[in-house]
């Protein structure tokens, strides 16, 4: 082809998503596969969201509300913020994109950690921004080195808290200290995709960090309905931030970025306290069970503040991934993140956890890892 591709774009490695269940089943001839590779909610979506979406289907010929009035109002009320402090995205992924579009131009600097959520870097690369990638220290964000990396050209710092893929969280005292030490010219983005699974003592006060930014760098919080609310397929997430920042993000979004099903489904899910509490409780119980059982099989699990965790399997993670796949269990190999012996799994239903443990035990023996 003779078209000229932007060098910013040609250098991007596409995001490696977990493959859809159907594709893997087709490709490997397996049935009833268990997928624990994408940190999804294994118990499904909120039934209230499903009902609300069904009831809305006959309105599909209409454009959705571009301002998402009902959803933004409900979210603002739930979070104790003003509607002007909330920006919705087609998944929180899209809010990351908005932030980069609004604040990063060619040559501007952004700081991310490695390994952490890979999408930050990709959006920055596409804009021609310079991405400084700070390695984790002891599996955690290295706040001291991130601070040293800040320059007058730094526009954004992305911190997923808890971090994906390690599941580690930043101690609030360290985070407050870090924030108080930064110039006012940059924005810290705290991506809290998994905050609902995190101990309450570890959560920071988003309200005061958004509202009382006088003399300190602004902080943007990202949340998603893809995890605890079980709506990953619907694509809906949001950011909470000062209204001046929100106003900038609205300028770079397309008017109908949140489809009608996502608007009504999210609204219903946010009001479904039973589904939310069940998911949090079952995840906690499943996590405890899996950590103990995985250790009993001779692997090393890494404790996590999320619905997923890393496991050192004592041999090639890629080989284990393949072997598990043949038994109908899909895990995530962390070799692409530089962890050759680590896999990541999310907590599944009791049945899925059982199938995972059985397959893991068999594969560890077959591959002579234990
Ligand atoms: C840390 C982190 N941030 C953001 C996302 C994206 O979430 P969404 O589905 O809302 O785009 C994920 C998804 O896995 C994640 O792990």
Q: pLDDT tens digits for 236-253? A: 999 999 999 999 999 999
pLDDT of res. 9 = 85
Residue with CA nearest ligand 1 atom 16: 164
How far, in Å, CA of 225 to CA of 192, rounded?
Answer: 11
Q: pLDDT tens digits for 41-67? A: 999 999 999 999 999 999 999 999 999
Confidence grade of residue 31 (pLDDT, cut at 50, 70, 90): confident
Q: What is the mean pLDDT of the chain?
A: 95
Pocket probe mutation, ligand 1, options 92, 118, 169, max atoms within 8 Å of Cβ: 92
pLDDT of res. 250 = 98
Q: Is the pLDDT of residue 18 over 90?
A: no
pLDDT of res. 2 = 86
* Domains 17-44+274-366 and 47-270 in one fold: no
- Classify domain 17-44+274-366 by CATH number: 3.90.1150.10
Pocket probe mutation, ligand 1, options 97, 99, 141, 226, max atoms within 8 Å of Cβ: 226
Atom of ligand 1 nearest to the CA of 232: 9
Q: Where are the domains of the chain?
A: 17-44+274-366, 47-270
Confidence grade of residue 314 (pLDDT, cut at 50, 70, 90): very high
pLDDT of res. 10 = 84
pLDDT of res. 286 = 98
Q: Which residues line ligand 1 (CB under 6 A)?
A: 39, 91-93, 117, 160, 164, 191, 193, 224, 226, 232, 237
Full DSSP string of 53-102: HHHHGGGTTSPPPTT-HHHHHHHHHHHTS-GGGEEEESSHHHHHHHHHHH
Phi-psi region of 246 (alpha: psi -120 to 50; beta: other; left: phi over 0): alpha
Pick the CATH number of 47-270 from 3.10.20.30, 1.20.1250.20, 3.40.640.10, 3.30.200.20: 3.40.640.10
Mean pLDDT of 209-226: 93
Q: Is the pLDDT of residue 132 over 80?
A: yes
Q: pLDDT tens digits for 84-101? A: 999 999 999 999 999 999
- What is the 296 CA–ligand 1 centroid distance (Å)? 31
Q: What is the pTM of this model?
A: 0.95
Q: pLDDT tens digits for 272-307? A: 999 999 999 999 999 999 999 999 999 999 999 999
Helix, strand, coil proportions of the chain in percent (round to 5)? 45, 15, 40
- What is the 116 CA–ligand 1 centroid distance (Å)? 11
Pocket probe mutation, ligand 1, options 113, 117, 233, 308, max atoms within 8 Å of Cβ: 117
More confident residue, 112 or 12: 112
């Amino acid at each position: 082809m003779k078209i000229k591709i932007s060098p910013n774009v040609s250098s991007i490695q596409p995001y490696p998503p977990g493959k859809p269940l159907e594709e893997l089943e087709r490709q490997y001839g397996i049935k009833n596969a268990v997928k624990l590779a994408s940190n999804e909610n294994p118990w499904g979506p909120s039934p209230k969201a499903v009902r609300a979406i069904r009831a809305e289907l006959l309105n599909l010929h209409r454009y959705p509300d571009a301002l998402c009035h009902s959803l933004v109002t409900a979210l603002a009320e739930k979070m104790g913020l003003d509607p002007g402090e909330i920006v919705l995205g087609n998944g929180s992924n899209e809010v990351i994109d908005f932030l980069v579009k609004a604040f990063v131009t060619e040559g501007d600097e952004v700081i991310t950690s490695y390994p952490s959520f890979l999408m930050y870097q990709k959006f920055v690369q596409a804009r021609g921004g310079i991405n400084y990638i700070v390695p984790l220290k002891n599996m955690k964000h290295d706040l001291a080195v991130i601070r040293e990396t800040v320059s007058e050209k730094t526009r954004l710092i992305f911190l997923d808290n808890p971090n994906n893929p390690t599941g580690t969280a930043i101690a609030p005292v360290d985070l407050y200290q870090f924030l108080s030490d930064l110039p006012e010219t940059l924005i810290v983005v705290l991506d809290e995709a998994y905050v609902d699974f995190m101990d309450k003592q570890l959560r920071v006060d988003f309200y005061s960090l958004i509202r009382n930014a006088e003399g300190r760098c602004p902080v943007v919080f990202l949340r998603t309905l893809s995890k605890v609310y079980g709506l990953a397929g619907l694509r809906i997430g949001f950011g909470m931030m000062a209204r001046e920042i929100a106003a900038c993000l609205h300028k770079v979004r397309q008017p109908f970025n949140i489809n009608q099903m996502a608007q009504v489904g999210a609204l219903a899910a946010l009001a479904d306290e039973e589904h939310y509490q069940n998911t949090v409780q079952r995840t906690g119980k499943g996590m405890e069970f899996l950590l103990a059982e995985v250790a009993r099989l001779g692997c090393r699990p890494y404790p996590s503040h999320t619905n997923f965790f890393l496991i050192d399997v004592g041999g090639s993670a890629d080989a284990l991934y393949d072997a598990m796949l043949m038994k109908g269990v899909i895990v995530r190999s962390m070799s692409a993140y530089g962890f050759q012996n680590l896999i990541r799994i999310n907590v599944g239903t009791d049945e899925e956890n059982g199938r995972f443990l059985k397959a893991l035990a068999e594969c560890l023996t077959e591959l002579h890892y234990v």
